[in-house]
Amino acid sequence: MTSRQTGRRIASISAERRRRAAGRGGFGKGGRRRDDRMSAGERRQLFRLFFCGGVFVLLVAAKLALPARMEQINAALSRALEQNMDVQAVFSAVGRAFSGEEDLGKTADELYQAVFRPQEQEAVQASVQASAVKAAGSIRFLREYRMSAADPPDSEKTAGDGEGAELSALTYVLYSDQNLPEGVSMEQAILNFDYAVPVSGTVSSGFGYRNHPVEGEERFHYGVDLAADTGTEIDCFADGTVTAVGESSSYGKYCTVTHTGGYSTLYAHCSRITASSGSAVRKGEKIAEVGETGIATGPHLHFELHRNGVYLNPIYYVSPA
Amino acid sequence: MSRLRESGVQVSGGFWVLTAWFTAVNGWRLTAVLLGMAIVHEAGHWLVLKAAGGRAAGLRIGILGAVMEVDSSGLSYGKELLVVLAGPAANLLTAAVCAAAEAETAAGAGLILGCFNLLPIRPLDGGRALELGVSWALGPAAGETAARWAGTAAASVLAGGLAMVMLQSGGSLWLLPMALSALAAVKREGFRKKVFL
């Protein structure tokens, strides 16, 4: 009895299997019959699959046939993907207009900057990239030259000495005029006004090329970083007028002050800006507090000194005498 | 996930993709601020809905944000209008509080989100408010017509504006879904056959 039942079951299963195999036969009669029974949803999914497959095949074919053209399109696409408005700056500008800290004309100006010229700073840095690479090349060359010039046994003995010499040579290579980015001057300008150290902290990063602590690549650093605790008072560098108080994704909370003689200073990554835009400030007056807003790895003041739009090295004026 | 679905919350895949993209471009802090503002917005709707005696049927979260499905059968025009306007109002109130507390970024985000939702494009709150308001005053046919005209015009301007921003700045492509949705709204409001009861 059991054997007969089992036999029947096996028979029906194998029949089922045969039927299914015929259906899977693809382009035969069975295949077409399955298409007829396809629901609208299934058909849509099939269409999607074929559409995506088609796009994929087309792209591969285009890449094989016109590699140079595809390379260009690729570059243009990734440029478009990387170019983004500074949403943080947009929000902050609107917020400040809302709280009545700023008039609408200035807000419109900031919005335009944030949407259409978000990476002005980065653009400058990108143009620097080429010269930075050149400089890196010279470093390697110099290092190799030193290695081969120094005798192996002697090099250990005079390691300290040699390093110093190499460093000064490097400084010379790095900061000879052709390696500087546009709009940067290494000269020590003589200021015709009194000034004060904004924060008496240790210099954690100087003016010049450095490996960016967050982005990781070599970039020009347009100011000096003075490390200090969050909340430390930031004093104004010299008498002047606060021309901008703002917030950006890279600078965090920042403000700029214009002084006489075409000089201006910038204070970035603050936790709080206490001065308000348009107000007159005196030398040594508190204008902000140290923080780590924007792209920063710890609390510090990023301090820049400009003369008629040219970046100067602020180090001569901020190290405690 | 399944528990979410049971409670009537549907989250589309597009939402996750766009959120991830926005976070990659702008950082998680801004994403958190925006999501917080969106929660405030929906909470505004929900609280007034509860107070008015209505019932939320579900929440659909898609590319353009969340849409609360409201079982509005028992609500009068006036009450439904209040429910619809409560979301943007919650955003604007929060923005005012943030501005007073000197949190300018959050204030700006709230203001922009609130104003965006007041655009007269259905299913944004502004569009629904316009439809409800005109329907209340002049009848449902007039409400539908007004919402269509205003929606078509506003969505055209929005799509054009977003396209211009992307072209001029040569980027900010995460705005693309919003622009496409605006175009879809133009098609929906401007070219669909009118269906009246």
Whole-angstrom CA distances from A308 to A260, A262, A311 are 11, 5, 9
Shared domain for A55 and A133, answered yes or no, is no
Shared domain for A269 and A215, answered yes or no, is yes
* Dist CA A316 CA B3 (whole Å): 64
- Give chain A's mean pLDDT: 72
Shared domain for A288 and A208, answered yes or no, is yes
Q: Domain range holding A14? A: 2-67
Ordered DSSP codes for A187-228: -----SS----S---EEEE-SEEEE-TTT-SEEEE-SEEEE-
Percent helix, strand, coil in chain B, to 5, is: 75, 10, 15
In a domain, A304, yes or no: yes
Does B89 contact A at CB distance below 8 Å?
no
In a domain, A44, yes or no: yes
Per the DSSP assignment, residues forming a β-bridge with B71 are B55
Residues A110-125: what's their mean pLDDT? 62
Has residue A172 got a pLDDT over 50?
A: no
- Give chain B's mean pLDDT: 81
Whole-angstrom CA distances from A116 to A85, A113, B25 are 7, 6, 16
| Residues A293-306: tens digit of each pLDDT | 888 888 999 999 88
pLDDT at A266: 92
pLDDT at B164: 87
* Dist CA A284 CA A199 (whole Å): 10
pLDDT at A151: 45
In a domain, A100, yes or no: no
Does B33 contact A at CB distance below 8 Å?
yes
Shared domain for A307 and A220, answered yes or no, is yes
Shared domain for A164 and A220, answered yes or no, is no
Is A116–B111 a contact, with Cβ atoms under 8 angstroms apart?
no
Strands A310-312 and A233-235: unpaired
Whole-angstrom CA distances from B136 to B78, B79, B116 are 8, 11, 24
Question: Taking the complete model, does pTM exceed 0.80, yes or no?
Answer: no
User: Which of B27, B104, B172 minimises the CB distance to A95?
Assistant: B104
Shared domain for A163 and A210, answered yes or no, is no
The tokens describing B37, both together, are 């503002």
Is B25–A84 a contact, with Cβ atoms under 8 angstroms apart?
yes
B113 Rama class: left (phi>0) / alpha (psi -120 to 50) / beta: alpha
| Residues B116-159: tens digit of each pLDDT | 888 888 878 888 888 888 888 888 888 888 888 888 899 899 99
In a domain, A55, yes or no: yes
Structural domains of chain A, count: 3
Is B104–A88 a contact, with Cβ atoms under 8 angstroms apart?
no
In a domain, A77, yes or no: no
Split at pLDDT 50, 70, 90, the class of A50 is very high
Q: Give the ipTM.
A: 0.75
